[in-house]
Amino acid sequence: DVKVTQSSRYLVKRTGEKVFLECVQDMDHENMFWYRQDPGLGLRLIYFSYDVKMKEKGDIPEGYSVSREKKERFSLILESASTNQTSMYLCASSLASGRNQPQHFGDGTRLSIL
Amino acid sequence: DQQVKQNSPSLSVQEGRISILNCDYTNSMFDYFLWYKKYPAEGPTFLISISSIKDKNEDGRFTVFLNKSAKHLSLHIVPSQPGDSAVYFCAASLIQGAQKLVFGQGTRLTINP
């Protein structure tokens, strides 16, 4: 079974802080993704990566950056946290080989910015 | 611009009956569609998918139907069970690159005993 692990389930930070959210997958997946989930908006893609050191902007990248130094690890960085970044953050991974591979999700990090 | 829409925020169904969840999309380039199920405090789990070359895919109690001309897909659960109570997201993938998914807003399904 695929295991996607997010380092924190709950996190509380203050506005202006630099925040790191970590995600690790154990299935040697090439693709990794960061989403945020907000009520009534579903999941929205922030950034994704299809290889080590490669990154692509998703639909809502503003205020975020990412880092992928190793294949199994994908970090989301809030450069200067703001209250509108309070949300549930979900990491996912998928195989790149072939077509139509489902994404596998971690359990999420509920981030509150005070 | 919501490319994937689930117009029903919630749905309530009697145990044992059929649950039908609906999803509409606007981008005709989508070629792969998925349904995810999400319990509170857990990540979404993959349920079932369908390629655009098919119009139906079945897996046990779950069947997904795709109507390309109407740009509509639906998930049928029969018979519905209490453990099916969750939020269901439909998602669609574009014909390109790293298989980005575009998600709908989700439908909360409640199965009543």
Predicted pLDDT at A2: 67
CB–CB of B8/B22 below 8 Å? yes
Predicted pLDDT at A111: 97
Q: Which residue of B6, B33, B62, B101 is the best one to mutate when testing the A interface, meaning the one whose CB has the most A CBs within 10 A?
A: B101
pLDDT in tens, A17-64: 999 999 999 989 999 999 999 988 999 999 999 889 889 999 999 999
> Nearest CA to B19 among B50, B64, B71, B66?
B64
Predicted pLDDT at A96: 77
Q: Between A42, A48, A105, which is nearest B100 by CB?
A: A48
In A, minimum Cα distance to B9 occurs at: A40
In A, minimum Cα distance to B104 occurs at: A42
Q: Which residues contact B82 (CB under 8 A, 6 or more apart)?
A: B15, B111, B113
In A, minimum Cα distance to B35 occurs at: A102
The verdict on a CB contact (< 8 Å) between A99 and B106 is: no
B26 vs A42: CA distance, rounded Å: 16
- Kindly calculate the radius of gyration of chain B based on its CA atoms and give it in whole angstroms: 13
Chain A residues lying within 8 Å of B34, measured CB to CB: 102
A96 to chain B nearest CA, in Å?
A: 7
**Beta pairing partners, B84:** none
A31 to chain B nearest CA, in Å?
A: 7
Strands, E assignment, A50-108: 56-57, 64-70, 73-78, 87-94, 104-105
Predicted pLDDT at B14: 97
Predicted pLDDT at B98: 57
pLDDT in tens, A83-104: 999 999 999 999 876 667 789 9
Q: Walk along chain B (113 residues) and give the pLDDT tens digit of each residue.
A: 679 999 999 999 999 999 999 999 999 989 899 999 999 889 999 999 999 999 999 999 999 999 999 999 999 999 999 999 999 999 998 766 557 889 999 999 999 99
